[in-house]
């Protein structure tokens, strides 16, 4: 059985057990884009302007909703309107990390009510499998999907070795709600014992730490190119933030649009090379 990343996105869309993963893969195919833009800005106007500019080029918009200074619930309606206009899904990068009961409340309630609008969210595995149980109790009935942080792009990350292996096992035990990983490589064989073989699961790998020019920032971020991430490491979706929008202090919306187009092309060409080389 070949690894899922060697099959087309279209094939994988038809067979995925998780509703949000199916929607994402269908969007990737419709838009010929495996680009997710991470919109890490603090003003609601900049947030919406960037999303409107990159919308045509992305399959997924990644948010950190709690960094918006002038957040109002109306912002979510505007985000959803842009999601309809441009045909993309929404991923709130909340990185839940608490016991099941607490994360269920954080996911469903409070100011942001994340589960009501984010198709996808993510969680650290540090609390153990109960974090999946808690989030699934809210997200599964809504058709949402969860990504587990199996690895991180930052220098000195502790998510390595047996921690990453345990994250892979936790995903395999929960394939209905866990749709994939935030990681830097494929996870099919990670954490298998010597007598186990990779199963049929298709976990999507969404990879942050992607840049065409820069190799990193002053705070430990590390970048690889879309080609390295998609072709060499077999990841499925590239997550790009500052590589697309530059510095929020000098936003140039035409340049944001150009960069989104550039990353989309780079990500898609790397995917085509990957599946065609089979």
Q: Contact residues for ligand S5P (CB under 6 A)? A: 38, 40, 64, 93, 152-154, 182, 208-209, 221, 239-243
Q: Which of 95, 215, 217, 252 is an active site residue? A: 95
Which C-beta is closer to ligand S5P: that of 14 or that of 160? 160
Place of tokens 């921690």: 163
224 is in an annotated binding site: no
Q: Which of 46, 52, 87, 98 is an active site residue? A: 98
Q: Is 98 a catalytic residue?
A: yes
Closest approach of ligand S5P to the CB of residue 34, in Å: 15
Closest approach of ligand S5P to the CB of residue 192, in Å: 23
162 is in an annotated binding site: no
Q: How far apart are CA 142 and CA 120, in angstroms?
A: 11
Q: Is 249 a catalytic residue?
A: no
Intra-chain end-to-end CA distance of the chain, in Å: 13
Which C-beta is closer to ligand S5P: that of 27 or that of 221? 221
221 is in an annotated binding site: yes
241 is in an annotated binding site: yes
Q: Is 95 a catalytic residue?
A: yes
Classify burial at 185, counting beta carbons within 10 Å of its beta carbon; exposed 0-12, middle 13-18, buried 19 or more.
Answer: middle
Closest among 79, 87, 152 to 112, alpha carbons compared: 79
Place of tokens 């933030």: 241
Classify burial at 218, counting beta carbons within 10 Å of its beta carbon; exposed 0-12, middle 13-18, buried 19 or more.
Answer: exposed
Q: How many CB atoms are located within 10 Å of the residue 194 CB?
A: 4
Q: Which residues are catalytic?
A: 93, 95, 98
Binding-site residues, in ranges, read: 40, 62, 153, 221, 241-242
């Amino acid at each position: 059985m070949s690894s899922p990343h060697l099959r087309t996105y279209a094939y994988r869309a038809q067979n995925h057990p998780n509703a949000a993963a199916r929607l994402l893969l269908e969007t990737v195919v419709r838009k010929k884009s495996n680009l997710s833009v991470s919109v890490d800005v603090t003003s609601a106007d900049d947030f919406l302007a960037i999303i409107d500019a990159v919308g045509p080029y992305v399959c997924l918009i990644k948010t950190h909703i709690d960094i918006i200074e002038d957040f109002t619930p109306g912002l979510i309606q505007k985000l959803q309107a842009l999601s309809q206009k441009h045909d993309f899904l929404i991923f709130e990068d909340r990185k839940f990390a608490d016991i099941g009961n607490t994360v269920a409340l954080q996911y469903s309630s409070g100011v942001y009510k994340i589960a009501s609008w984010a198709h996808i969210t993510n969680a650290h595995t540090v609390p153990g499998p109960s974090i999946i149980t808690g989030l699934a109790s809210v997200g599964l009935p809504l058709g949402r999907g969860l990504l587990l942080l199996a690895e991180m792009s930052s220098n000195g990350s502790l998510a390595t070795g047996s921690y990453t292996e345990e994250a892979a096992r936790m995903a395999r035990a929960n394939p209905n709600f866990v749709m994939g990983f935030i990681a830097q490589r494929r996870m099919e064989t990670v954490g298998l014992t010597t007598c186990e073989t990779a199963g049929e699961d298709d976990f999507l790998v969404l990879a942050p730490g992607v840049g065409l020019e820069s190799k990193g920032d002053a705070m430990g971020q590390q970048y690889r190119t879309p080609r390295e991430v998609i072709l060499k490491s077999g990841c499925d979706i590239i997550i790009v933030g500052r590589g697309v929008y530059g510095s929020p202090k000098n936003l140039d919306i035409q340049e944001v649009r150009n960069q989104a187009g550039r990353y989309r092309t780079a990500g898609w060409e790397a995917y085509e090379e990957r599946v065609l080389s089979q």
